[in-house]
Amino acid sequence: MPKHPDFIKIYGRFIKQYGKEKGKNLYYAWLKKKKYDDTKPFPKGKEKKEFMCAVIGIEVKELEGCFHVEGLIATTHIDEVDREEGIDIPDRILRETLDSFALQINTTEDARVMGVHHSEGHPFVPEYFGKADVENNPARVIKLTDGEYGLYVDTKLLKDDPATPGIIKDFQSGELNSFSITYDTEGFMTTDFDWVGDDLVRILLPGTRLAGYTAASNPKNPIAVATAYGFKEFKELVGMEK
C-alpha cells in the first residue's frame, strides 16, 4: 500500500538528510523501531503551540584575563530556519532533552566545547575555541516567560588560542551573535515526530548525544542568542520578554 502523505513528508526528511539509499534504510529502521504504520495518518497526540520570545538583560562585572560569552544555546521552540532551508519538517527539542544536554555538558568533556560555525563538528579535524565554564556556572535549563525552556550556558574562550582575539572582535561587532548545537541522533533513532497544530515536527529525544555547540551568525534556532559578553567574574540573568 502507498505511504500516507504524512509519512511521505517524514520519508522525505530522511532522504534530504542522508541521501536516497541510506535515508531509505534508516527510515524503515526507524519505522520498525517506532512500530508506526506508514499507510495510515501519523497519530495525533496532545496539541502543542509554537512560541517565540526574546532574551534581554545581563549584569556584567569585568575581570582581566578570560573572555566569557553567555546565552541560550538551544530552546524548545520550533526551528523555523529549517523551513527557510526547504525542510518541510523542522526540529523541536523536548524539555527533557534540554535537561539531558545540560547534564552532558556538566559531566562530559566532548559536550561542553564551543566551536565557530560548527568547527567543533568537523569530521576530520574538529576545532573548538571555548568551553562551558561548568565549574563556576554549570549549564542549566531555565523557563522563559512564554512557557518554553532554554539551555543556558556560560562559555569561557580559550585564553591563549591565537584565534581568540578575532572571535572576541566578531562578538563585539555582532558578526557572531548566536549559538547552534551539534548533535548525533544515530540515524534518527533518537528522534520521533509529533504535531504542532497542523504541522509535523521532528522531536529530538533525551537519548540524543550532544557533540558541542557553536558560535554562529545565523542560528538554527533564532531564539538561541548570545545575551552578553565580556571579561567578567559574575553575571546575573535579569529578564526575558516576548
How does pLDDT run across 132-152, given as a tens digit for each residue? 999 999 999 999 888 889 999
124 phi, psi to nearest 5 deg: -110, -45
What is the Cα–Cα distance from 67 to 58, expressed in whole angstroms? 15
Report yes or no: 73 and 224 within 8 Å, Cβ to Cβ.
yes
pLDDT of residue 198: 82
pLDDT exceeds 50 at position 54:
no
pLDDT of residue 193: 94
pLDDT of residue 99: 98
Q: Range with the lowest mean pLDDT among 25-39, 85-99, 132-146, 197-211?
A: 85-99
N residues, the chain: 242
State the pTM of this model. 0.79
Q: Range with the lowest mean pLDDT among 49-58, 162-171, 204-213?
A: 49-58
Confidence of residue 119 (pLDDT cuts 50, 70, 90): confident
pLDDT > 90 in the chain, percent: 42
Distance, CA of 210 to chain centre: 9
pLDDT exceeds 80 at position 19:
yes
